[in-house]
Amino acid sequence: MKCEYRKFCLFFMLSLATVLLTTFLTNCSPQTQKKDQPVSIKIWHWMSDREDAFLELARVYEAGTGVKVDFELYAPSDAYTQKIRAAAQTNTLPDIFGILGEKRDFASFVNSDYVYDLTGEMNKDNAAWKDKLFAKALAVNEFEEGNTFGVKPGIYGAPIDVTNIQMLYNKDLLQAAGLDPSNPPKTFSELMEASRKLKEKGIQGLVSGWGEIWMIDCLASNYAFNIMGKDKVLATIRGDVPYTDPDWVKVFDLFREMRDEGFLASGIVTMVNKTAEQLFANNRAAFAFNGSWCVNVYKGMNPGLNYGAMLPPRVSDQYPMMIWGGAGSSFIVNKQSKNIQGAVDFLKWITDAEQQAYLSKETQNLPSNKDSLKDIPAVLSQFAGAMDNTTHPSVWGVSEFPVVIEALDKGIQSIIIGEKTPVQLGAEVQAIKEREMAKKQ
C-alpha cells in the first residue's frame, strides 16, 4: 500500500514537471507555419481606428486571391511597441508589422535583420510601385547613402497613409472674436493679436496634447526651422551649434510669449491630445495644434465643427515654415518570414489607388498613393496642400539624443509654468547635450 502510494506520488510529480516544462518550452519556441496549412499572411498593427477598414480589405483580398490575411490589433501603441520588441527577441515577428519609434529604433530593426529590403520591389517595372507613392512618405522609410545609423541604403517600408501636423482654427470662434475666419493669422504677431481679441471675448486660445511631450518638440522644431533654417537645426543636432545660440533662445521665448499673452489653454502642459481634441471639437478653444488624423476624430466628436487648417504662423520670412509630416503609418516585411513574396504582394495591393481611396474614405486619413487624392474632405485637402512643407526627424539623417529631446520638451513645459527662462533652458539643454556627447566619445 505504502509502495503504491510512493509510486503514485512519484508519477504525479514527474508528470507535473513534464507538463510544466513542455508548456514553457512550447511557448518559447518560434512559431512555424505547417506545410499543409493554407497560405496566409499575419499582420500586427496598433491602429485601432482602422481595424474595421483593415478587416474589410483583408476580406476582399482573400476573395480575390485566396490568401488569408490576419490583421491582429495590439493597442495602445506603447504595448504594441513592447510586443514587437519582445517578438523580435524570440523570432516570432509576423509576416508584416509596423515600427513605432524613432529612426534609431527602425535602424536597429534593420541592422538586426528583422526587416526585408523593399528597394528591389519598389524599383521593379521602372519603379512602378515607388512612383505611385508620395516621395515624402517613402522618405520616412528610407535610409540614404552615408546615414549615421550604418544601415545599407534602401527603402525598408511601405507607407499606408500620409500625415502632417498643423494648426487648426475654429471659424465660428474667430468670427465671434471679430476676426476674419477666411483669413486666419499668418504671422506670429498676428497670432498674438488674435489671441488678445479672443481673450477679450473670454475665448480660450490654443489647445494641444502637450502633456505628451513629443507634440511640444514638434512645434518647437517647426519654429526652429522657420527662425534659423534647416542647416542650423541639423548643425545643432550634430553638436556644432549650441542650444544657447540666440536663435534657439528665440524659439524658446515664443512659448514664453504665448504664455504671457494668455494664448495657451489652461492646463496645456499636462493636457493629453484626446482632451485637447475634445475641447477643440466642442468649440472650447479657437486654435489647436494637431495632426491630420484629427479630421476623423473631430468628425466623430462633432460632425458640424466649422474649422480650417493652416501652417503655424511664421516668425521669420527668411526661412520657410516647416511642419512635421510624411508617412503616417508604414508596414514593413519581416525578413525572417516564410512568405516574403506574399507579404510584398499584399503591401503592393493595399497601397494601390483603389484600396488607398477606400482607406482614406473610411478613416479620413490622407492616402499614401498620389492617385487617391480625389474626393477627400476640404480640411483634408488643406492638410494635403501642406505636404510640400513637411519634414520629419526620420529624414534628417542625424538624430538628437533622447535625453536631450526630453530635457528640451520638459524645459518648455517649465517655461510655460513660469519656472524657467528661455536662457536658462538653453543652458540646461546644452549641458545635457555636452554630457551625452562626451559619453559617446
Partner 1 sequence: MRAKEIFKNYLFVLPAVLIFSIFYIYPFYKVFTLSLCQWDGIARFDFAKNFIGLRNFVELFQDKIWWSAMLQAGYITLIALTFQNALALMLALACDRDIKGGNIYRVIFYLPPVLSEVVVGLVWRWIYDGNYGLLNYWLQQIGLSNLVTDWLSNPKTALTCVAVIHCWKGFGWGFIIFLAGLQTIPRQLYEAAKVDGASSWQLFKNVTIPLMIPVFILVSILTVLGTMQVFVLILSMTGGGPGYHTEVPVTRILASMVGSSRFGYACSQGIMFGAVLLAVSFIQIKLSKYMKQA
Q: Which span sits near partner 1 by CB under 8 A: 133-141, 163-171, 242-250, 412-420?
A: 412-420
Rule CB under 8 A: choose which of 41, 43, 88, 347 binds partner 1. 88
Residue 22 interacts with partner 1 (CB under 8 A): yes or no: no
Q: Show contacts with partner 1 in window 207-226 (CB under 8 A).
A: 211-213
Bridge partners (DSSP) of residue 41 are 69
β-pairing, 154-155 vs 323-327, is unpaired
Note every long-range contact of 433-440, with CB atoms under 8 Å and residues 24 or more positions apart, other chains counting: 433/239, 433/242, 433/243, 433/401, 433/404, 436/401, 436/403, 436/404, 437/239
- Contact pick of 52, 70, 72, 78 for partner 1 (by CB under 8 A): 78
- Of 136, 92, 20, give the one whose Cα is nearest residue 388: 136
CA neighbor of 116 nearest in space, from 153, 155, 146, 143 = 155
Give the count of beta carbons closer than 10 Å to the beta carbon of residue 84. Answer: 23
Strand, helix or coil for residue 175: helix
**Residue 135 CB, nearest distance to partner 1 (Å)?**
27
Can you tell me which of 29, 48, 111, 381 binds partner 1, judged by CB under 8 A? Answer: 111
Which window, 75-83, 159-167, 349-357, 378-386, contacts partner 1 (CB under 8 A)? 75-83
Q: Is the peptide bond before 184 cis (omega within 30 degrees of 0)?
A: no
Whose Cβ is closer to partner 1: residue 314's or residue 433's?
Answer: 433
Please state, in angstroms and rounded to a whole number, the distance separating the CA atoms of residues 186 and 317.
11
Q: Please state, in angstroms and rounded to a whole number, the distance separating the CA atoms of residues 331 and 349.
A: 12
- The three cell numbers of residue 108 are 536597429
Spell out the residues 6+ positions from residue 152 whose beta carbon is closer than 8 angstroms to its own.
110, 117, 143
Binding segment toward partner 1, per CB under 8 A, in 52-60, 162-170, 233-241, 408-416: 408-416
Among 10, 39, 75, 128, binds partner 1 (CB under 8 A): 10
| 377 lies in the site for partner 1, by CB under 8 A | no
The three cell numbers locating residue 247? 536663435
85 part of the interface to partner 1, by CB under 8 A:
yes
Q: Which three cell numbers stand for residue 182?
A: 477666411
Nearest distance in Å: CB 189, partner 1: 26
Q: Which of residues 251-290 bind partner 1 (CB under 8 A)?
A: 265-270, 272, 279, 284
Minimum CB separation of residue 331 from partner 1 in Å reads: 18
Residue (47 or 408) nearer to partner 1, CB: 408
- Minimum CB distance to partner 1, residue 253 (Å): 18
Kindly state the smallest distance separating residue 76's Cβ from partner 1, in Å. Answer: 11
Find the shortest distance in angstroms from Cβ 108 to partner 1.
4
Residue number, 227 or 416, with CB nearest to partner 1? 416
Q: Which stretch binds partner 1 (CB under 8 A): 108-116, 161-169, 185-193, 220-228?
A: 108-116
Dihedral, 67, 132, 295, 324 alpha carbons, nearest 10: 120
Q: At what angle do helices 422-440 and 402-416 cross, to 10 degrees?
A: 170
Min separation Cβ 322 and partner 1, Å: 24
Selected range binding partner 1 among 5-13, 160-168, 247-255, 372-380, rule: CB under 8 A = 5-13
Judge contact between 195 and 263, C-beta under 8 A: yes
Region at 267 (left for phi over 0; alpha for psi -120 to 50; beta for the rest): left
Query: Minimum Å distance from CB 410 to partner 1?
Result: 5
Q: How far apart are CA 161 and CA 364, in angstroms?
A: 10
269 DSSP assignment: G
69 near 40, Cβ under 8 Å?
yes
Q: How many residues bind partner 1 (CB under 8 A)?
A: 48
Smallest separation, CB 43 to partner 1 (Å):
19
Applying CB under 8 A, the residues found at the interface with partner 1 are 6, 9-10, 13-14, 16-17, 20-21, 24, 78, 81-82, 85, 88-89, 101-102, 104-105, 108-109, 111-112, 114, 204, 211-213, 265-270, 272, 279, 284, 402-403, 406, 410-411, 413-414, 416-417, 419
